[in-house]
Every structure is written in C-alpha cells, then in structure tokens.
Structure 1
Amino acid sequence: MLNAWRLTMLKDKLDRMNKRCVKEEEQLAVHRSARLCNLVYLFFLVTYASFGILSVFPAVLKGRTPWRIYIPYFDWRVSTSNLMIASSFEFLCMGSALSLNHLNDAYPLVFGLVIRLNIDLLKKRIQNLRTDPCKCEEQNYEDLKNCIDDHKQILDACNLIRPCLSQIICMQFLFVGVLYGITMMNLMFFVNFWTGISCMIYFFGIICQTFPFCYICTLIDSDCDDLALSIFSSNWQDASPRYKSTLRHFLHHAQQNITFTAGGIFPISLNTNISLAKMAFSVVTFVKQMKILDSLNDK
C-alpha cells in the first residue's frame, strides 16, 4: 500500500499538473476522469460486497456458518445465537480481507486512468504549440518548457507509485492463475445454485484484479508512442534554434515508454494477463487427467 510520504508526493505532483488545466475542455476532461474513477471504486465495492453478502445469507438460512472458520472453545452448532455470533465473526474477518482486496484492486486502476488523462492532456497541449499567432517566440518557448515540466511530473508520479504497484501486481500474478483454476473447478463440480452465483461473482472479481490494470498499462504504452509522434508533428519547422534544440531533447525523453513490471519480473500487459488465464485451463486439465476428483468422490 502507499505510505504517507509517497501519497503526499503523488498528490503534490497531480495537483501541479491539474493547475495547468485552465481551458474549459481540459477542466471538463478532468471532471469526466474523476467521475470514471469514482465508478471504478464503486464497481469494485459492489462486486466484493455482493460476494460477501451472497456467501453469508444462504449459509445462515441453511443453519451453518458461511466459511467454516474454526473458533476454539466455541461451537456454533449448539444454538441459533451461537450460529449468529460465529457468522458475524466470520463476516467481520472476511469483510476486512475483502476491503483490503477492494483497495488493492481499485487504486492501481484509478492511478492508471489519471496517468492516461494527463498524457492525453499533454498531447493536446503539444499539438497546440506555436499555433497562437498572438504569442511571441519567447512565450512559445515557455509553453514548451511547461510541457516538458508536465512530462517530468508524469514520470515522477509513475516512479513514486511503481514500487507499490510492482509488489501488489506481482502477488496477484502469482496467485490469480491458480485461483482461476480452483474457482473453475468449484463452479464445475461442487456448487449449488446460490453458492454458484457467489462463486461466479468471485470469479468475476478475480478477473477484475488484473485484467483492467493490464489493459490500462497497454494503453499507456500506446499513449507514449502517440506522445512522441505529437512532438514530432508539432509546428516546429520555422522555430528558433533554441526551441528546436529543446524540442529534440524532449522528443528523446518522450520516446522512452512508461512501463510497469510485477516484481521486476513480469511485464504488466495484456499478454501477461492472457498467459495467466491459460493457467486456469491447464489446472482444470491436469485435475481431469489425473482423475483427482474421481478419487475424492470414491473416498
């Protein structure tokens, strides 16, 4: 998770970039992005809350605890009150875990959306360089310097968040592939109607753990290519030598794409996410070929 220092530094850099949004269309784009980030947070909240609720109520109505957590010296089978106490305890424990997963899954995606927004705004500012006839060459040079500063703030924000994202996504990559397979086996062989709905919601939540952020990282990589093209295609042909020299340095740095890795090993991209999905089918195929489920049923 983000510590206080990283969170403060990240907020300062994002605020500095937002101060550049003085045009009405830029402010409108920021508001749209904020609304989308709120919807992402709400989506993960509803997904995990639905899994928790659909796991608790059917189990309690059938007279058992939802996750069968062992509580020493306490038997939930003795009375209805004990069942309610044990179920409430399990819901509290699982609710805490679900809240942590909710935050870990939501904030990388929110950060990716914010970075994409700022890259898109920067591309538009670069396209508008030296297009205002009322500005002199010195003012155009200052606009170029502001664009370079915005790009630097984006890179610094990514460097701040990269260690945290690397740890979280690495752990998700290590476990999500196996969870895909286990959840699919549970759906295919062990569930009834209500637990099947809960399991499907959980499976959907597992997909949302890695796929959206991998997709955003792929889009960010494409946005960086478009950013370099925007710099090269800007109106620089009749600019001063100082302007052209600064623009060349800017183009050189902009050609280095923004990439994220999981644990410094796996690149965070759609290709990696597809490889994880293939692991699920490999697990199910392995279980079928080894006839593990038949052995469990015989016992």
Structure 2
Amino acid sequence: MRTITDLLYGRGAAKFESNESFQPIFQSWSMIGITTLKSNRTRDVLHMCFCWFCILLSPFSFYMGYVQTLRTKPITDQLSLLQAIFNVTGLPLKAIFIKISQSHLRTTEAIFVRLDERCQSAESREQIKKCVVLSARIFTVVGSVYHLYGSTTILQAFFTDNYPLQTWLPFTDYIPQPTIKYYSHFMFEVFHIYFLLTVQFTNDVFPAIYIRNLRTHMNLLTERVSRLGSNPEFTDDQNFNELVDCIATHQDLLVVKDIVESVCSVTVFIEFVAVATAHCICMLNFFVFADRFQQMVILSYYLGVIMQIMPVCYQASMIMEDSAKLPDAIFHCNWLAMDKRSRKLIIYFIHRAQENMTFVALKLFKIDMTTNLSIVKFAFTLYTFMNNMGFGQNMKELLE
C-alpha cells in the first residue's frame, strides 16, 4: 500500500490501480470513526464510539453556543457561529448515511479491478496513474482549504482571548476554576474543530474522486471504441469480441455510476442546502459587520464553502461532456470493415450510449456547474436584497 506522499507524486514501481484513488478516503473514514479496520478489536470500537460522540454532539453544542452568544457576544461572532451551524447540522446526517451506504460503495472496487484489467497498454496505464495522482491531490487540496479555516479561527481566538467556536460544552463549562475551565474548553474546541473539518471534507470530496475515476475509464473506453475495426490483423471474431468487451466496459461504468449516485445523491443535496445558506450569511457578515481580522477568518471559511460543492459539480459536468463523446466515437469507428453481426451490435451500442452520464441530488437538482453557479447567484441575490432593504446596516446601528 502506497503512502499519501507516494500517491501525490506518483512514486512506486508497481502499476497504479484505480482503487488506490480511494485509499486516502477510506483511511480518513477509519481515522474519524466512520469505519474500523479491525472491528473485533476493543480499541477500535472505543475509538469509533468516541468519534461518533463528537459527531453527534456537534449540532447540539453549536446551537446552544449560538444561544449563549446572543446575550454576550457581538453580532459578527453570532453570524460566524450561525454560518457554521448550518454545515454542522447536516454533518451527522451525511456521516450516518455514508456509514449505512459504505458497504454498497465498496462494491465498486471489484468493478474497477475489471476495468483496470482491460487497460493493459502503456498509454492506458499512464492515464490511470495520472488519475490516481490527481485524485490524491484533490483530496489534499480540499483538506488543506478546510483546515485553513480551522487554523485562522484558532489564531483569532488565541489573540482575542476567546474560544475558537464559542460552543457549549457541559463537561467543561461547569468547571469552577476559571483558568482550568478556559484552557480545557479551548483545547477541546481546537481538537473538535479539526476533527469536524476532517469529517466534513472527507464526506464532501469522495464523490468528486469517484467521478474523476469514472471519467478516466470513460475516456479510455472512447479511445478503444474509436479504434474498432481498424486493426487489419484482427479476424471478424476478434473484432466482434473486442466490441463485446467495449459494451461490457460501458455496462460496468453505468453500474459504478448508479452506485456512486445512490450514495452521493443525499450528501450532495445536504451540501447544496448548507452552502446556499452559508453563502448569504458569509457575505452579510463580511461586508457589514466584520473587521479586518474577522474578514480574513470569514474569507477562509468562504473558500471552504466553495470547495464543498465545486469539485463534485465540476467533475459531474465534465463526465457529461466525456460521455457525450462516446456515441460519436462509435459512429466514426471503422464499422464498414466489420461483419454483419458486429454492425447490428454497434447499432445497439450506439443506442445505449446516447444517454449521457448525469448525477442528480435526490432527483431534484442536477449536480453540475450550472447548479453551483445558481446557488451562488441565489445567495448573492438574497444578500443584495437584504442590503438594499438596509437590513444589515439597521441591525448594526441598533446594536451599536
């Protein structure tokens, strides 16, 4: 098993496999307790129970903390916590659904093994290697952006003598000694914010990585199809068998697509709702209430909000474009050089390939860049409406 550094730089003598793209995801899920590597070990079970306690505690802790800030903290701190509440509310829902669906998602591994076995040329193996490296880099970049927000929040709290998240923790807030209470609460929130950000970005990034691997095998299939009937050394039976293998590959891709969509449909829908709300609150807080240092924290949070849905929307849009090239490749292959039964099968194949690969969130919103831009536009329109109505400025004058 390669390390994450080897995956990032494509190091290693052995052939790269598509399933290596998902290795960081499952390792992260194991670290945050979504799954355990050895479920019969007591230590792993206790670790998983503690992680789920932290996950399930977060909505209650954030909400009670927000109620407390209404009386004691300025409006910018209230909005900073409020924008996080919407994401934290959906976090346990996504984690529970992924926990339930994880075994279903694992069934794609055997299919990717079959897909890799059909790609034995040097060019095909190089494309698979590039996909694995890119998947590791997507995972790393998204995680870094998420944890940048955690670091800026902790630095702001450290220099202002506040708590990073302003959450309510019953097991520290009732400590009578103020110094011990402050540092106990502060250290737990430092751990909690990095833990929750790890849970969040892992659950957000996995659809983009799966779709990126689907794109690679779709492009490899399109290249294979374009060469059908072009090899003069092939007999009619060999051309027919190659065509059948291409159709089997396409069927496997459709199966993987359905599995990934069934898992990410719910999680991406929750992200859409959380991101649409967080966009508006971020802009209101950034342009009306926050000072310079707070604006830096809000900007880092806003970058994380953008990264929640942009990678999966981009990859989903690109696989629609990639799958649209397959019917053209079938039509332009050298089907005239093939026998009658192969031509009949090509008609079936081109008919089946007409339907593009599209991902839909809960059968309501198509997952693509159009939806991503629509959410940003909705949030900006809502902010503009509130700004024109003087909502933010009137509230600021009222509080001052």
Q: Is TM (by shorter chain) over 0.5?
A: yes
Contact 1:178 1:279 in 2 (8 A): no
How do 1:173-212 residues align onto structure 2 when only pairs under 5 Å count?
Answer: 173-212=272-311
2:125 counterpart of 1:36: no
Determine the structure 1 residue equivalent to 2:225.
126
1:88-237 superposed matches below 5 A: 88-237=187-336
- Structure 1 counterpart of 2:239, which letter? N
Q: Which has the higher contact order (CA 8 A, sep 6+)?
A: 1
Matching residue within 100, 108, 120 for 1:10: 108
Cα distance in 1 for residues equivalent to 2:103 and 2:168: 39
Q: What is the CA distance between 1:76 and its match in structure 2? A: 8.2
Moved more, 30-39 or 261-270: 261-270
Name which of 32, 48, 66 aligns with 2:146: 48
In structure 1, what is the equivalent of residue 185 of structure 2? 86
Residue 288 of structure 2 contacts residue 393 of structure 2 at CA under 8 Å; is this kept in 1? Answer: no
Contact 1:225-1:255 at 8 Å conserved across structures = yes
Counterpart CA distance in 1 for 2:388 and 2:159 is 37
| Residue pair 2:152, 2:300 contacting (<8 A) in 1 also | no
User: 1:205 Cα shift?
Assistant: 1.4
* Partners of 1:63 and 1:83 within 8 A in 2: no
Deviations 1:210-260 (A, max 9, x none): 122222212111112111100010010131110001111111100111111
Q: Which amino acid aligns with 1:60?
A: F
Give CA deviations for 1:9-50 in whole Å, capped at 9, x if unaligned: 111111110111100010000000100000000011111111
**AA partner of residue 206 (structure 1):** V
State the one-letter code of the partner of 1:27. Answer: R
Number of residue-to-residue matches in the alignment: 299
State which drifts further: 9-18 or 184-193.
Answer: 184-193
Identity of aligned residues (%): 24
Pairwise CA RMSD: 1.8
Secondary structure of the equivalent of 1:21? coil
| Worse-matched range after superposition: 80-89 or 263-272 | 80-89
Q: Aligned-pair distance for 1:88?
A: 1.6
In the TM superposition, residue 190 of structure 1 has moved relative to its aligned partner by 2.6
Q: How does 1:253-292 map to 2 (within 5 A)?
A: 253-292=352-391
For residues 160-179 of structure 1, the C-alpha deviation after alignment (integer angstroms, 9 at most, x for no partner) is 11111110111111221121
How far apart, CA to CA, are the structure 1 residues paired with 2:390 and 2:291? 22
Summarize deviations over 1:267-293 as a string: whole Å, max 9, x none.
Answer: 112221111111121221232233222
TM superposition shift of 1:103:
1.0
Partners of 2:382 and 2:221 lie apart in 1 by 45
Structure 2 portions without partners, runs of 5+:
1-97
What 5-or-longer segments of structure 1 have no aligned partner?
none
1:25 aligns to what? 123
Read off the aligned partner of 1:213 and give its amino acid letter.
V
Q: In structure 2, do the counterparts of structure 1 residues 53 and 77 end up closer, same or farther at CA, with 3 Å as the change threshold?
A: farther
Which range moves more in the overlay, 182-191 or 29-38? Answer: 182-191
User: Are the counterparts in 2 of residues 178 and 283 from structure 1 also a CA contact under 8 Å?
Assistant: no
CA deviations 1:55-82 (Å, max 9, x no partner) are 1122123211111112336268964443
Segment of structure 1 superposing worse, 86-95 or 163-172: 86-95
Q: Higher mean Cα deviation, 252-261 or 1-10? A: 1-10
| Matched position secondary structure for 1:259 | coil
User: Comparing 69-78 with 148-157, which one deviates more in the overlay?
Assistant: 69-78
Please tell me whether residue 249 in structure 1 is matched to residue 249 in structure 2: no
What residue identity is the alignment partner of 1:269? D
Instruction: Quickly say closer, same or farther: Cα 1:245–1:266, change in 2 above 3 A.
Output: same
Q: Distance in 1 between matches of 2:309 and 2:146?
A: 15
Larger CA deviation: 6-15 vs 28-37: 6-15
Aligned partner of 1:210: which letter?
I
Aligned equivalents of 1:174, 1:81: Cα separation in 2: 39
- Distance in 2 between the 1:19 and 1:198 partners? 47
Give deviations 1:157-215, integer Å, cap 9, x for gaps: 01111111110111111221121111111111232333322211211111121122222
Aligned partners of 1:43 and 1:289: how far apart in 2?
37
How far has the Cα of 1:92 moved from its partner? Answer: 2.6
In 1, the alpha carbon distance for the partners of 2:175 and 2:150 equals 19
Q: Are the aligned partners of 1:55 and 1:198 in contact in 2 as well (CA < 8 Å)?
A: yes
Task: Name the SS for the 1:69 alignment partner.
Answer: coil
1:60–1:87 Cα contact (<8 Å) kept: no
Runs of 4+ in 1 over 3 A off after TM superposition: 75-81
Q: Work out the CA distance in 1 between the residues paired with 2:114 and 2:192.
A: 40
